[in-house]
């Protein structure tokens, strides 16, 4: 039957999804709107995901493979609808821990069984907050404070960990505030910086910081304010577990009524506002409700003007934290719609859908210890166990629901054992 969308599998190494898509757009000379996907994948991994391209022939996409480094496209088919953020149902991970140091492999089995049976604290992963010395949540906080000048400074000013060309561009901007020259110096991959500087150049001055912020792609603007929501949520789940423990629900906790939750929190990078989806109904637990629920039912809100907050000490913790930032958890409406946060809910504990693991002895510290999808296609064989190998590795297969982070499951594993990555 076919359709006007070409769906394909994107394989990539050490690139995040947006970077990979931008590269495809550059090679094909098309707008980024041509491509759509269900969620973003991390940079620091080998990942595989489905992507759809509107009105693009498979042959054209296939032809890119010869010019792509650490990326491959394949499994082309024509479909009637493009993918949308939120179509994702979950993720499967293969994680290999090298040079594991334990007294016996039985400790590994016990630790893995704890993760399998009890799960992990469902924190947002650190990748949600960026990898530079300026966290995305700090920029989001400035945007929610309507402090446009500070937000622009956080995005443009020098920061640790930048490449040499980025450092040069930031230094020039800081010393001269010459938007045109700074724009020439910034590499095109610095999307936020380039959009802000382009806005200044078009305006002929650097005064309209709000307009410059609005000129950035919408997904980037949303990323910043959602990072602040995630920052607050992570702080609050720590407070919840510190005050009430992780064994059972507490009076005043929130649980979801019905099965709506997983549809309303989507991929790792985008939160659907309640205004855009059906209303999520929550119940505030009373003493008599406690036996009917488990800790895995308990949710906490991401700050917003449409959510209900817990009816216990945790709401005070929300207020304490956000008031320090001159924000109010109940007053999250803004004149700019993208920064007007209605909020949503997230379960405080996560449980793997399935987990399996295997130990592997080896000697060469540089040898690959697992196969990726491209290796399998190319007919490579699985690394063999060396019975008397001096080094020990742990290979984990784990499937998680959407919005859950493998890094946080791994954090729980490493925290509760003497395993060392």
Judge if 156 and 260 occupy the same domain. Answer: no
Has residue 84 been placed in a domain? no
- pLDDT tens for 83-140 read 887 677 778 898 999 999 888 889 999 999 999 999 999 999 887 887 778 899 999 9
Judge if 404 and 358 occupy the same domain. Answer: yes
Output 233 or 387, whichever has higher pLDDT.
233
Judge if 226 and 344 occupy the same domain. Answer: yes
The Cα–Cα gap between 80 and 76 comes to: 13
Judge if 306 and 377 occupy the same domain. Answer: no
Judge if 182 and 278 occupy the same domain. Answer: no
Has residue 67 been placed in a domain? yes
Is it the case that residue 418 has pLDDT exceeding 60?
no
> Contact at 8 Å (CB) between 96 and 393?
yes
Q: What is the CATH number of the domain that holds 336?
A: 3.30.2350.20
> Contact at 8 Å (CB) between 285 and 251?
yes
Has residue 329 been placed in a domain? yes
Output 264 or 253, whichever has higher pLDDT.
253
Judge if 377 and 304 occupy the same domain. Answer: no
Is 42 a residue of the active site?
Answer: yes
The Cα–Cα gap between 25 and 273 comes to: 29
CA distances to 138, 209, 266 from 147, in Å: 11, 9, 29
Mean pLDDT (the chain) is 88
- pLDDT tens for 324-343 read 999 999 999 998 888 999 99
In order, the DSSP letters of 64-119 are GGGG-SSEEEEEEEEESS---TT---EEEEEEEE-S---S-HHHHHHHHHHHHHH-
Judge if 229 and 159 occupy the same domain. Answer: no
Has residue 126 been placed in a domain? no
Judge if 280 and 269 occupy the same domain. Answer: yes
The Cα–Cα gap between 43 and 203 comes to: 34
Q: What is the CATH number of the domain that holds 143?
A: 1.10.1510.30
Instruction: Return phi, psi of residue 6, to 5°.
Output: -100, 115
> Contact at 8 Å (CB) between 142 and 150?
yes
Judge if 251 and 298 occupy the same domain. Answer: yes
Judge if 141 and 210 occupy the same domain. Answer: yes
Is it the case that residue 36 has pLDDT exceeding 70?
yes
Has residue 85 been placed in a domain? no
Has residue 128 been placed in a domain? no
Residue linked to tokens 């190319």: 378
Number of structural domains the chain divides into: 4
pLDDT at 278: 63
Of 304, 334, 349, the position where a domain reaches its end is 349
Has residue 395 been placed in a domain? yes
Angle between helices 218-244 and 191-203 (to 10 degrees): 130
> Residue 199 corresponds to which tokens in the numbers above?
């806005």
Has residue 129 been placed in a domain? no
Average pLDDT over residues 69-73: 92
pLDDT at 415: 72
The Cα–Cα gap between 374 and 385 comes to: 21
- pLDDT tens for 174-198 read 999 999 999 999 998 898 999 999 9
The 35-37 sheet, strands edge to edge: 35-37, 46-54, 5-13, 71-79
Is it the case that residue 269 has pLDDT exceeding 80?
no
Average pLDDT over residues 22-32: 90
pLDDT at 375: 80
Of 334, 349, 364, the position where a domain reaches its end is 349
Give me the residues paired with residue 94 across strands: 397
Of 333, 349, 365, the position where a domain reaches its end is 349
Average pLDDT over residues 153-170: 93
> Residue 85 corresponds to which tokens in the numbers above?
């953020």
Q: What percent of the chain has pLDDT over 70?
A: 93
**Rounded to 5°, angle at Cα 106 from 103 and 107:** 60
For residue 276, the tally of other CB atoms under 10 A from its CB is: 9
Is it the case that residue 152 has pLDDT exceeding 60?
yes
Average pLDDT over residues 394-416: 85
Is it the case that residue 419 has pLDDT exceeding 90?
no
Q: Which of the following is catalytic: 16, 42, 338, 354?
A: 42
Q: Which residues of 262-274 are buried (b: 16+ CB within 10 A; e: fewer)?
A: eebbbbbbbbbbb
Judge if 237 and 325 occupy the same domain. Answer: yes
Is it the case that residue 42 has pLDDT exceeding 90?
no
Q: What is the CATH number of the domain that holds 38?
A: 3.30.70.3160
Q: Which residues of 322-354 are buried (b: 16+ CB within 10 A; e: fewer)?
A: beebebebeebeeeeebbbbbbbbbbbbbbbee
Judge if 237 and 295 occupy the same domain. Answer: yes
Tell me which residue range forms the domain holding 145: 136-218
């Amino acid at each position: 039957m076919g359709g006007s969308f070409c769906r394909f599998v994107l394989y990539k190494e050490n690139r995040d999804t947006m970077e990979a898509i931008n590269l495809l757009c550059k090679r094909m000379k098309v707008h980024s709107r041509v491509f759509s996907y269900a969620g973003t994948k991390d940079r620091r991994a080998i990942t595989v995901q489905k992507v759809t391209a509107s009105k693009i022939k498979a042959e054209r996409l296939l032809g890119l493979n010869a010019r792509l480094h650490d990326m491959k496209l394949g499994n082309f088919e024509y479909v009637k609808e493009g993918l949308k953020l939120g179509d994702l149902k979950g993720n499967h991970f293969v994680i290999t821990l090298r040079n594991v140091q334990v007294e016996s492999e039985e400790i590994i089995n016990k630790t893995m069984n704890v993760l399998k049976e009890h799960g992990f604290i469902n924190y947002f992963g650190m990748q949600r907050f960026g990898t530079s010395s300026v966290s995305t949540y700090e920029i989001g906080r400035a945007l929610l404070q309507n402090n446009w000048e500070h937000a622009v400074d956080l995005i443009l000013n020098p920061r640790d960990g930048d490449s040499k060309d980025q450092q040069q561009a930031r230094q020039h901007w800081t010393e001269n505030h010459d938007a045109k020259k700074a724009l020439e110096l910034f590499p095109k991959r610095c999307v936020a910086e380039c959009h802000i500087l382009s806005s200044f150049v078009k305006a002929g001055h650097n005064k309209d910081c709000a307009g410059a912020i609005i000129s950035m792609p919408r997904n980037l603007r949303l990323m910043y304010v959602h990072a602040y929501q995630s920052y607050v949520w992570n702080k609050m789940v720590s407070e919840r577990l510190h005050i009430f423990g992780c064994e059972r629900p507490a009076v005043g906790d929130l649980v979801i009524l019905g099965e709506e939750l997983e549809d309303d929190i989507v991929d790792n990078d985008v939160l659907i506002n309640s205004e855009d989806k059906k209303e999520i109904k929550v119940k505030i637990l009373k003493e008599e409700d406690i036996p009917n629920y488990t800790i895995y039912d308990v949710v906490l809100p991401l700050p917003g003007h449409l959510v209900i907050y817990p009816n216990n000490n945790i709401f005070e913790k929300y207020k304490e934290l956000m008031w320090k930032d001159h924000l109010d958890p109940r007053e999250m409406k803004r004149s700019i719609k993208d920064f007007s946060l209605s909020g949503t809910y997230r379960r405080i504990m996560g449980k793997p859908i399935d987990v399996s693991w295997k130990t592997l002895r080896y000697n060469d510290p540089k040898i690959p210890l697992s196969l990726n999808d491209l290796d399998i296609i190319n007919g490579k064989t699985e690394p063999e166990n060396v019975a008397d190998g001096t080094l020990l590795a742990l290979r984990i297969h784990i499937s998680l629901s959407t919005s859950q982070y493998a890094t946080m499951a791994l954090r729980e594993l490493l925290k509760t054992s003497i395993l060392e990555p």
